[in-house]
Structures are given as structure tokens and as C-alpha cells.
Amino acid sequence: MARISDLRWKYRAMMRAYSYRTHDWRPGASLEKPLSEARVAVVTTAALHLPDQPAFDDSRKGGDVSYREVPADANLDSLLVAHKSDAFDHRGIEEDKNLALPLARLGELAGEGRIGSVNHRHFSFMGSIPAPGRLVSRTAPEVAGLLRDDGVDAVLLTPV
């Protein structure tokens, strides 16, 4: 298990000084049907994007709170990683995008009947957003609405 002491000094210092926010997520959501009947989508913070989509803007003050839509049939090998943080090793995600966007694994689970189906689209955000106000008030609710419109029952969150 990783520990804060494993981080470089600058990240340990930043984490100690960072003004963490809290959110009361109640009442929350609950799965209303068996997982074997549920439509599942993935939301990642790995800053993955398709070659024809703009990369996330790492110069944006407070962080780029936009998102990229990734179709379920996207060629995962073609996805690019635009994550700005050097606080984690990107090599694993570069080698296997399924680590952050496990569409192949979800397809297998659907084929085995362990989940009902895989949604036709998934969403990628940039992680490492030091000023998440716009994310919380605008783009996250927008994506939640799109997932609701798609009839998604469960979302697998893959934070990076």
C-alpha cells in the first residue's frame, strides 16, 4: 500500500497544506436492480482522450474541469494520456488503458452475465484539480445527467 511518506517532499508538503473540501453526498445512490441486470459505465480521472479530441489543458488555473466522452467501442490503444501530475507513475496506464478505463474487462463481465450491459459511452476527466468548484457545480452534474439519460445503473469510478 502506498503511503504519503512514499511521495516526493514537494507532494507531501502540498498535501499537508492543501485545503481539502468535504461534501455531504447523502442521500447517495443505491443500485435498484441486481448487478447482473445493470447497465454500467466508467468515469476515470486519468485524462484519457481520443486522438481527435483536444488534450486536457494543464495550463488552466485551478485545473481543467472539462471531460472527454469515450465510446465503448473505442480502440483503447489509440487513447492518449494527458494527465499533468507527475505524482504517480503513468507507465502502467500508458501500457494498458484498461487499468484506468476497463472497457475490455466490463465487456467480459457482460459476456459472462455478471453485469447486464456496458454503456455505449464513458467519461474521462483530468485528475489533480486543485480548485474543484466548477467541477462540482457544473461538469460533474452534467456528466451525471448524461449517464442518467443513458439509463446507466452503476458507475465504476477509476480515480488516478
Q: What is the 3-state secondary structure (H, E, C) of 1-16?
A: CCCHHHCCHHHHHHHH
Residue 138 has phi, psi (to 5 degrees) of -125, -70
> Which DSSP helix (H) or strand (E) runs through 68?
strand 67-71
Tens-place pLDDT, residues 120-154 = 999 999 988 888 889 989 999 999 999 999 999 99
Write the CA distances from 97 to 41, 50, 127, 151, integer angstroms: 15, 12, 15, 25
Q: For residue 55, what is its C-alpha cell?
A: 488534450
Could you give the CA distance from residue 123 to residue 85 in angstroms, rounded to a whole number? 19
Please tell me the predicted confidence (pLDDT) of residue 148. 96
**Look-up of cell digits 495550463:** 59
b/e burial code for range 13-41 (CB count within 10 A of at least 16 → b): eeeeeeeeeeeeeeeeeeeeeeeeebbbb
Tens-place pLDDT, residues 43-58 = 999 999 999 999 998 8
Please tell me the predicted confidence (pLDDT) of residue 1. 66
pTM of full prediction above 0.75: yes
Contact 84, 129 (CB under 8 A): no
